[in-house]
Structure 1
Amino acid sequence: MLLVPDKTKPFILETDASLEAWGAVLRQYDHNGELKACSYLSKAFNPAERNYQIYDRELLAIVRALETWRHYLLGTPHPVTIWCDHQNLTYYKNPQKLTPRQRRWHLFLSQFNIYIMHVPGTKMIQSNALSQWPGYNQTEEEERITMLPENTFSYDPDPDYLVGDNYGYSNDGDIIQISVIDTELQQKIKKSLEEDQIAQQVIKGLTEKELTPLKQELAGWKYNDELLLFKNRIYIPANLKLKQELLKLYHDLPSQGHLGIFGTMANIQRYFWWPGMHAFVKSYVQGCALCQQMKVNTHPSAPPLAPIKADPHAYPFLTVTMDFITDLPESNGYNALYVVVDHDLTKAIVLIPCTKTIDAIGTARLYHDNVYRRFGLPNRIISDRGPQFSSQVFQEMNKRLGVTSSMSTAFHSQTDGQTERTNQEIEAYLRIYCSNHSETWTEHLPLMEFSHNNRVHSVTKQTPFALLLGYQPRAIPHVIEDTNIPSLSERLKQLNQQRSKALAAHELAHALMAQRIQSKFKPFKEGDLVWLEVKNINLGVLHWKLKPKQEGPFPITKVISPWAYKLQLPEQWKIFSVFHACLLSPYKATEAHGPSYSEPPPDIIEGEEEYEIEAIVGHSPKNVRKPQKFLVKWLGYPSSENTWYKPEELSHANEILDEYKKTHNLL
């Protein structure tokens, strides 16, 4: 019967490998002190793995077992003891150069708090059976093999943590600990200890032969092999560069995966300690530019809403909002819908079918034929930054006619939220009545427009028709005759009163919306460095799923309002440079992390400056075999500095260019 694993108790991992397969057993002691199996593993090697030498096969068994039981063995409060019958794993004093495969395994193993113990194969019957290996007879060749260099393992001559009922072996075999420090880093720690006055006082107290008051207060401290330990964790002296180097190992490496504050802290405190370690780790992770750029922003800027105020002297269609619904099914030669909404007063709509290729001139003509002829010129047009509205032609026409154009900030359609909400309503109507005959949607527009204008609006508490015409048109025949028909003068008086109430309701809605978000937003200042959310910006990278969540950091060159900011963007970005605050987040630089980008100076080659190319990350056009330009990522610089180059301009980087073409089938 298998024992249910308990993460609060020590684990023993028994592994073995043969020429054909590997096996593993996960064990724990039960409440009676008997060693029980929690789980079994067994798998045959593939043809390539069968060609590994014995030490690689044995280590692969350990790696595979740790991968499978990672949820039990990662971050355990007690060291995980690994039983292995391969004696070569103890030959750590005769170093040799690691192969790339061994280096990968070494990085993986460094995540775990593990100890490898040599145990005779006769005492590991179950794992031997799982690997289908009758016994082990070392060859002379394998006797000469050293598994890993000295800096990979550290020998513990006094394994107190294995003594007791929870472990079957103490000094019966050699015990080795996979260490997270290499020789070079170890020497840096030792050298920094010499410059740390507090550490020197502790060492002095520990090395005194007499029992002094200081020595009595140093419970939990040890001094061993020129390293100072506190509660069996290596003490790191007060050296900023040393701490940064340590955090690079435990946060930046691929094996660590740029974990957050909690994950990084959990990994590093397993082996190291210094006063204020949590605050330092938190500051380091918060200052990591890659984490800020690549991870989802879970705390985006949330400035309070700032609804557009209505003109207190408004009349119908004096201020209008407009937008296009595109990519509709073909219907009577149309595949798009032009939507115009009276913003300030009635909330009435005008629906005009069109094509999605319509330009600024065509948009103006549609407005003239369908809105102007009924309501005249507007004073103000509110829209998004669609090409029809942002074009120079459209802006020039508005200027000559005395019409103010108010466009949203880049990629912030909430500015024109009324039209966006109307679009949702229209699309829902068309799905209801046209889903079975999608080619007929243009025929439903008159009824759709009538339906909207004949319903009570949530803001004005009146129907658009009532505010527009002064009466309520009949949608269907009345059951009884309406005898309460006001005179013309009375109807005009009622219309005036209703419009005044509608404007007051609009003002009330404006105030309530502004208070809806109790925001803690702190406005940015000119000169602040910010990240820009780029989910709506095509930067030329091949895979949008893997592109950065944010780009930058960019300096703010002008504060337009508490909600809109102008950024200094790269010259190759041909986009509008004013953005809403919700697309921006502050760039965090901390002393603990230091500079995130090295920004090395260029080399001078034949009198010309040349920067080192890190990689080619995109090409354009994408769906051709011979692209016209390639997107270059520079070594040591942020991705916002990526630059487009023609193939002939990359003659100094032929090797990188050829490799990119080969990878993406562009040769």
Structure 2
Amino acid sequence: MARPLHNLVKKEAPWKWDTKEQEAFQGLKDAITNAPVLCHADPAKPYFLETDASGAALGSILSQQQEDGCLHPLGFLSESFKGAEQNYDMHDKELLAIICSFEYWHIFLEGTAHPITVFTDHWNLEYWKESRTFNLCHAQWHLLLAGYNFQIVYCPGKQSSKPDALSCQSDHANVPPANQTMLPEPVFANIALVLPEKELQRCIESSLDQDKSLEEILQFLQNKSKALPSIKCAFKDYQMEARLLFYQGRIVVPDIGTLQTDLLRIFHNSPLAGHPGRQCTLELTHLYQGNLFLFSQM
């Protein structure tokens, strides 16, 4: 936005204030005066929590939707990881960002009238609440979060630049800010109708054992400690979480019955998909929410 003004003051650049410079100047003024500003918390409105973690720190923003349809921040949090926290894997650092945010804003987030929507750029965390196997640390975190009414929603990293700026330095990329106006309720209703996520998850879970091409991978994950080094190397990108099989962070969809074609139909018929052609539908399935699905045998 400010590039024409920067170019204007470069060394030996001729001074010429034209339409382009005036539009940049006016655009900066509008962005500064009209951007969503801090608001006071309203207990009657839903809360939105955006979180992110880098290798060294965490960042989060607590917001509420105001009358203009935009999310307005209520507060910001940015903290460095301390001691053993610095050695956590990325999954646990992202989860710790959520834990610290709830503790920091507990006066707002305890006993809320509406579920708190937590946005994270780590897809696996969306199923973390449903996991049945924990280590001691995860069990403690589960107990802490049990006192809050919330849902975790995956938000691709490209769309979560605000908390990312609090957890690590900005790369100063010349990218325009994304429109933050909330989608109207009818659109969310359409998504709920065409994307029955829990039902789809159950179908994928129950079909994993039936796909013969995944049999060796599942056996490896059940007896990982006894596997040969060559097997560990071959299957190092696979992991089981919340009873789902992931490959490099993407859910593996078994080649059983009509499961894969049903998934393609969901993406093709969705009101938000625009009824694309064959190739675009396949690309959309792979690109949706940051490479969400990986089809076996395809």
Question: Is the structural similarity TM-score above 0.5?
Answer: no
Larger RCO (alpha carbons 8 Å, 6+ apart): 2
Q: Would you tell me which structure has more helix in proportion to its own residues?
A: 2
Higher Rg of the two aligned structures: 1
